[in-house]
Amino acid sequence: MTILDKLADHAKERVEAEKKIVSADEMRANALALPKGGFEFEKALAKNGLSFICECKKASPSKGVIAEDFPYLDIARQYEAAGADCISVLTEPKWFLGSSGYLREIAANVSIPCLRKDFTVDEYMIYEAKILGAKAVLLICSILSAAQIERYIGVCDDLGLSALVEAHDEDEVRTAVSVGARIIGVNNRNLADFSVDTDNSRRLRELVPADVLFVSESGVTSREDTARLEAAGADAVLIGEALMRAPDIAEKLRELKGGSV
């Protein structure tokens, strides 16, 4: 069993526990009662030039605790002030030490779109993301069937949310394209051994139609990385650890953006 399998199994347990507090029908009704979103996340990625999705992440399975001190709201505000286009917020509690509360508070205090970064295994989590204030959710090909991804994209469309469909290899990219994903993210991290290779994004970019937004995730640490990925056709990069470990988050983001804000 891979770490991804463990994360997915734990997510299923979390959802079942949450349904005992707020039923699936109630969660769905509450989400649909809110104004429909305007797909703000994908609009932010569609602008000219490379867009930056900056991540609030306290820990990860591969690195353990990344940020002992985790003033998540200050971090999110720094990202916004330094020119981030979107913010990714980890809500997975066991391995990433995330929290739904982090997302709710960040989404209420910044004006740029937030992505709920979690292991979506049930449409319940999509309705919950809407209520928490997210403008997008993550759908991971490795833990979902093509039919599930297609159905979950439909749920997102009903709510006005964007779906970032994550792939790791050629087959998963083809699956994402086949189900109509409008945003495809390629994870550069090998989940078997946690090695990172940003060439993974460059190799897989050619399999993604030009009218589908392309995001490179993981292992982006330098201006050289962002420039090469932009040249390879990436519309956006998702960056977490490099920013979380930086002594000056705003300065690091300006560096990754090529000195511009």
Mean pLDDT (the chain) is: 94
Q: Closest by alpha carbon to 168, among 192, 132, 134, 146? A: 192
Name which of 239, 191, 221 is nearest 87 in CA terms.
Answer: 239
| Predicted local distance difference test score (pLDDT) of residue 61 | 82
Rounded Cα–Cα distance for residues 202 and 44 (Å) = 22
Nearest CA-CA partner of 141 in 168, 160, 163, 114: 168
Question: How many percent of the chain have pLDDT more than 90?
Answer: 86
User: pLDDT digit string (tens) for 152-177?
Assistant: 999 999 999 999 999 999 999 999 99
Q: Which residues are known to be catalytic?
A: 55, 57, 117, 166, 187, 217-218
pLDDT at 191: 66
Task: Based on DSSP, count helices (H) and strands (E) in the chain, helices before strands.
Answer: 12, 10
pLDDT one-digit tens code per residue, 122-134: 999 999 999 999 9
- Per-residue pLDDT at 261: 45
Using CA of residue 12, residue 42, residue 194, residue 68, what is the dihedral sign?
negative
> Which stretches of the chain are assigned E, i.e. beta strand?
51-56, 59-60, 64-65, 86-90, 114-117, 136-140, 162-167, 183-187, 213-217, 236-239
Q: Where are the beta strands (DSSP E) in 30-74?
A: 51-56, 59-60, 64-65
What is this structure's pTM?
0.95
Domains of the chain, start order: 3-22+37-256 (3.20.20.70)
Calculate mean pLDDT across residues 31-45.
Answer: 98
Q: How far apart are CA 146 and CA 235, in angstroms?
A: 24
pLDDT at 3: 83
The structure tokens listed for 12 are: 């299923």
Q: Where are the beta strands (DSSP E) in 35-160?
A: 51-56, 59-60, 64-65, 86-90, 114-117, 136-140
